Structure 1
Amino acid sequence: MDVYVVRHGQTEWNVKGLLQGSSDVELTEAGHAQAAATSAALAGILDSNTTVVTSPLVRARDTADAIARALGTGVEVDARLRERAYGAWEGITPEERESNWPEEVKAWRTYGSADVPGFEHHDIVRQRMVEAIEEWAERAQGPLLVVSHGSSARVGMQGLVGLPLDHRTLGNLGNAAWSRLTRRSRGDWTLERHNVTPETLGEKP
């Protein structure tokens, strides 16, 4: 089966370079436009037989709602698809992170994790993302489309295809971009396309 992992559209915090994590930040006007463009592109590939599941955070939910409307289907919500919690780093500027946590920022840039109060580490994010996607893939009668977030989606996909988590072996998804995976059985996954946008959809993998 085919599984599509979609990142939400742009938010104001994306524009400002702030980590959102568990903070509930709405889409910008540009983010809604991105979600609409992605919805139209995916409607040319998928149909109402697609199961759409989303993170409960509003930026993901609004993106999922736009896609589901275009496909003529409904939306399920799964809290396991939420973004990684960044704890004390959420909503502060990069300069504040550098000033107050210089060693932790260095570790984060090298390994993707940091010992910061409230920071959710790789193994926890991977576990919940993989569990959620595997379970929904078992239940889906057709293609599965998951709407999530930049960090949790990346770590989840690394977990599904067995890539190590000690560094960024997979690049981030852009806003309203998606990846397509194929699943033959539980634990047997292939990443077919990554970071696809409406503009790059027709390009060869």
Structure 2
Amino acid sequence: MSRLYLIRHGKPASTWGEADEDPGLDEAGRAQAEAARDFLLSLPPADRPSRVVSSPLRRCRETAHPTAEALGVDVEIDPSVGEIPTPKALSAAERPAWLRGVFQGRWKDVVGDLDYDAWRREIVASLQARGDTAVFSHYVAINAVMSQLEEDERVLVFRPDHASISTLETDGASLTLVAKGREASTGVL
């Protein structure tokens, strides 16, 4: 079994629903990115990631950068671990209300342009194919993974704090939760 680390991005400079649709990290977020790097580098060599994968969004890329730099690898961009796709008919201003509704329901009931239950299964499948990797992702995508692993149909099953690191194992065909990362109150809801 290979270790996989699923990491929520650090604190962004602005939150969803504000003017910047792709914010980078604020000062606290940069410190969280460095703390994530330090934690990952403190692991026994056999458990350390050798690859770094990130969502395409800036807050994830910036959180991933210190770890990739310390490991001497490039950040691999993978849209499959990106943010939940917003329905095309919604404006950026309408996204927060849509997300609040999503958080109250089940994956099969999420209304949008795609099958969101299939979207969460695709994230899990992309992670199963990885080993010894640090994956920097988002609140909803991490919930997609956790709900699938826990066989819980609810969208919101976990409240990962910024830079929270959950540990998973994969044999290439299955994915197992070893330990959830730090949970905290968050501005997401």
TM-score category of the 2 structures, normalised to the smaller one? 0.7 to 0.9
- Work out which of the two has the higher radius of gyration on C-alpha atoms and give 1 or 2: 1
Report the counterpart of residue 176 of structure 2 in structure 1.
190
Partner in structure 2 of residue 52 of structure 1:
52
Provide structure 2 residue ranges, at least 5 long, that are not aligned to the other structure.
184-189
Contact conserved, 2:24 with 2:58, CA < 8 A, in 1?
yes
Structure 2 CA distance for aligned equivalents of residues 57 and 93 of structure 1 = 16
In the TM superposition, 1:84-103 aligns within 5 A as 84-87=84-87, 88=90, 90-91=92-93, 97=97
* Distance in 2 between residues matched to 1:192 and 1:114, nearest whole Å: 28
Deviation at 1:89, TM superposition (A): 6.5
Q: Tell me, yes or no, if the aligned pair for 1:10 and 1:31 is still in contact at 8 Å.
A: yes
- Counterpart residue identity of residue 164, structure 1: D
- Counterpart residue number, 2:152: 164
| Cα deviation 1:97-117 (Å, max 9, x = unaligned) | 3xxx7xx955642436643x6
Equivalent-residue separation in structure 1 for 2:35 and 2:100 (angstroms):
35
Aligned to 1:111: 106
Map residues 35-184 of structure 1 onto 2, 5 A cutoff. 35-45=33-43, 50-87=50-87, 88=90, 90-91=92-93, 97=97, 108-111=103-106, 114-115=110-111, 122-135=116-129, 137=130, 140=131, 143-159=132-148, 161=149, 163-168=151-156, 170-184=157-171
Hey, what does 1:13 align to over in structure 2? Answer: 14
Deviations 1:49-78 (A, max 9, x none): 611111111111111111112233322111
Mark the CA change 1:166 to 1:89 in structure 2 (over 3 Å): closer, same or farther: farther
State the alpha-carbon separation in 1 of the partners of residues 61 and 53 from structure 2.
9
C-alpha distance in structure 1 between counterparts of 2:117 and 2:100, whole Å: 19
Q: Secondary structure of 2:73's match?
A: coil
Residue 92 of structure 1, CA deviation: 5.3
5+ unaligned residues in a row in structure 1: which ranges? 198-205
| Percent sequence identity over aligned pairs | 26
Letter in 1 for 2:106: Y
After TM superposition, the score normalised by the length of structure 1 is 0.71
What's the offset of the Cα at 1:151? 0.4
TM-score normalised by length of structure 2: 0.76
Higher helix share: 1
Q: Is the 2:128–2:173 Cα contact (8 Å) retained in structure 1?
A: yes
Q: Residue 4 of structure 2 corresponds to which residue in structure 1?
A: 3
Q: Distance in 1 between matches of 2:168 and 2:176?
A: 6
